[in-house]
Amino acid sequence: MHRLATVAAGAAMVFCVMAYAEEIKVEMNKIDETGIGESIGVIVATDTAAGLKLTPNLKGLPPGAHGFHVHEFPDCNAKEKDGKPVAGLAAGNHFDPEKTGKHAGPDGDGHAGDLPVLKVAIDGTAKEAVNAKRLRVADLKGRSLLIHAEDDNYADKPGGARIACGAVN
């Protein structure tokens, strides 16, 4: 009987580890009003017990804090707004499955796509992971990751222009 309980406990542990083991790599590209540019690296998205962990390995970005979000559609192309092309506009708005209409930050009750800011070092690299406790890898599928030019105040300024994007198909 003891042996059966040990086997069952071991199987449960393997299942728990497998439940959090899903991982995807998202190639990130520079974007501008003319479309999609060169690759700047990848972001590895991993399910963990604490939610979605996003680990960047990026280069060529402006130093500082940048707004970072999950957007609605897996399309990083420019799209016209008011007769002018806008970088990454085809990605749509922030991922908001509950239709809150609020930009309230990663711990708030607004868009699920609000992520912690992405920190870029003075040499233009981003390597510091961020965690999104309300998301899983499955939430990224059919969406895009977007990096904005400026910091995000999680209220009325989500980061300005879109400067890098990765589509998750």
What is the structure's pLDDT at 157?
Answer: 79
Strand order in 162-168's β-sheet? 68-71, 143-148, 162-168, 23-32, 35-48, 51-58, 130-132
What is the structure's pLDDT at 17?
Answer: 47
Residue 18 pLDDT > 90: no
pTM above 0.85, yes or no: yes
pLDDT, mean of residues 25-29: 98
Residue 21 sits at φ, ψ, to 5 deg, of -90, -5
Higher confidence at residue 80 or residue 103? 80
Give the integer Cα–Cα distance in Å for 121 and 98. 34
Residue 11 pLDDT > 70: no
Mean pLDDT of the chain: 90
SS3 of residue 25 by DSSP: strand
| Exposed/middle/buried for residue 51 (C-beta within 10 Å: 0-12, 13-18, 19+) | middle
What is the structure's pLDDT at 155?
Answer: 80
pLDDT in tens, 41-84: 999 999 999 999 999 999 999 999 999 999 999 999 999 999 99
Domains, the chain = 22-168 (2.60.40.200)
